[in-house]
Structures are given as C-alpha cells and as structure tokens.
Amino acid sequence: MKKDSEIHKHVVQEILWSPSLKGSEINVAVKNGVVVLTGVVDSYYKKIIVEKAIKKINGVKALVEELEVNIPDRFLKGDLEIADAILYALKWNSAVDEAKIQVTVEKGLVILEGEVEWNFEKVAIRKTIENISGVREIVNNIRVKNRVVAQDVSFRIAEAFTRHATIDSNKINVEVVGDKVILTGQVRSWAEKQDAEKTAWSSPGVLAIENRLEIVSESILY
C-alpha cells in the first residue's frame, strides 16, 4: 500500500506534468489515501483537468476538490453570453438533443435540467460546456428517463466488465435492485473503481449506482 508521502509526490508530479496547469496554483494534502486540493485556478476546465489527472494515480482512494475558480477580467463573460455559447455548443453536438435541455446561468453558475434516455447523454452535455469561457461551476440536474430494466441487466454489465481492459471482472459483483445497480468487491485503484461505475451506467434503465467497491493494493488483491 502506498504511503501518503508517495501519493503526494505523484500528485504534485502529475499536476506539474500537465501543460495547462501551474503547480503554484494548487495546494495538495494527502491523508489515508484521500487527496485534498485547495487553491485558485483561472478556469472551470482546469478543475476538470486536475480531477482527471488525480484519478490516474495508484493509491488514491478519494478526492476532495476545493479549488476556487477566479476568471481573469479578459475572459469574463455575461450570463447571456455564456448561455448563448452553451446553446450553440449543444446544437452542434450530435450526441445531444438540445431541445430536451434547459439551461440557467447565474453569475457563471450553470444549472442544467431536462430529461434524456441514456446516462452517456447526460455526461456528453456536461463535457460539451466544461471549456466554455466564463463558466465557474456546473450543476447537472438532468434526469435519465426511467426505462424498464432488463432482467439480464446484471449479466450485461458483467459482460461489459470482461470487455474492459482496465477492469478485473472477476473481483466485482453486480446486484440489481429495481433501477439501481450495486457494485461490490475489490479493485486496484480509484481509476478502476470509476471505470467500473462508468461501464455500469452504459446499461439502459439504470437510474442510480451505489459504488461500494473497495480499493486495495495490487499485492493484496493478487
């Protein structure tokens, strides 16, 4: 199992490795495998980049992200400008039906509402607007439409795990209760835990996922 000092070192290195991030902007603390980030970044997209970078690191069990977004004056946009840019971006995304989405912008805070058929649509909508100038935060309240969950949904998810290169399907159990999927078992990293959850979301009819997967070191797992 990695020591907190090792995880801290690797987190700092990963942040410095990213050309769009400045190490001086971000403070890193680690306790019992939980990474806490504080500081100020100049765009919402940088918060997303940091989160993705941390997920790559072995030994990380969870992330507490407390970064503040302080947009430079030259990139500040009015709420109407931001809303127009979001609607335009959604219109040109072939994976999104923008007619189903309602967008509210208040002082750079974007609230998304509406209903979609699949979770990947909800994710795609968020990703479409993450890099729009002026956005400070995104609240994704879009609902996934309740569809009948197939009786073999747990089997289909388990099959999907076996096709995924980063997931050891032998260590993960899938239970379906109504329209909720419960994942239990053991994984080697936080990234594998997140990959398992994303894969489970790909099944139609899933409205909720309870991710109880335990992160253990590879030496213990094998």
Report pLDDT for 171. 87
Question: 140 and 160 share a domain?
Answer: no
For position 109, which CATH number holds?
A: 3.30.1340.30
Report pLDDT for 167. 82
Question: 217 and 169 share a domain?
Answer: yes
Cβ neighbors of 105 (< 8 A, separation 6 or more) are: 79, 80, 82, 83, 86, 111
Q: What is the mean pLDDT of residues 190-217?
A: 84
Question: 13 and 46 share a domain?
Answer: yes
Cα separation, 139 vs 31, whole angstroms: 28
Question: 97 and 119 share a domain?
Answer: yes
Report pLDDT for 178. 75
Question: 140 and 96 share a domain?
Answer: yes
Q: Which of these three, 70, 97, 115, is where a domain ends? A: 70
Nearest to 115 by CA among 87, 94, 128, 96: 96
Side chain identity, residue 8: H
Cα separation, 100 vs 122, whole angstroms: 11
Q: Which domain holds residue 197?
A: 153-221
Strand partners, 65: 37
Question: 132 and 174 share a domain?
Answer: no
pLDDT tens-place string over residues 75-134: 889 999 999 999 999 999 988 888 989 999 999 999 999 998 888 888 899 999 999 999
Report pLDDT for 152. 64
Q: Which of these three, 12, 43, 70, is where a domain ends? A: 70
Structurally, the chain folds into a number of domains equal to 3
Report pLDDT for 80. 96
pTM beyond 0.85: the answer is no
Please tell me which residue, 201 or 217, carries the higher pLDDT value. Answer: 201
Question: 66 and 82 share a domain?
Answer: no
Report pLDDT for 163. 82
Cα separation, 85 vs 108, whole angstroms: 12
In the chain, pLDDT over 90 holds for what percent of residues?
A: 35
pLDDT tens-place string over residues 124-179: 999 999 999 999 999 999 988 766 555 567 777 878 888 877 788 888 888 888 77
Question: 134 and 181 share a domain?
Answer: no
Question: 64 and 85 share a domain?
Answer: no
Question: 41 and 79 share a domain?
Answer: no
- From residue 182, give the alpha-carbon distance in Å to each of 31, 60, 123, 200: 27, 22, 20, 9
Least confident range from 69-73, 157-161, 183-187: namely 157-161
Q: Which of these three, 144, 168, 196, is where a domain ends? A: 144
Report pLDDT for 89. 95
Question: 133 and 179 share a domain?
Answer: no
pLDDT tens-place string over residues 2-17: 889 999 999 988 888 8
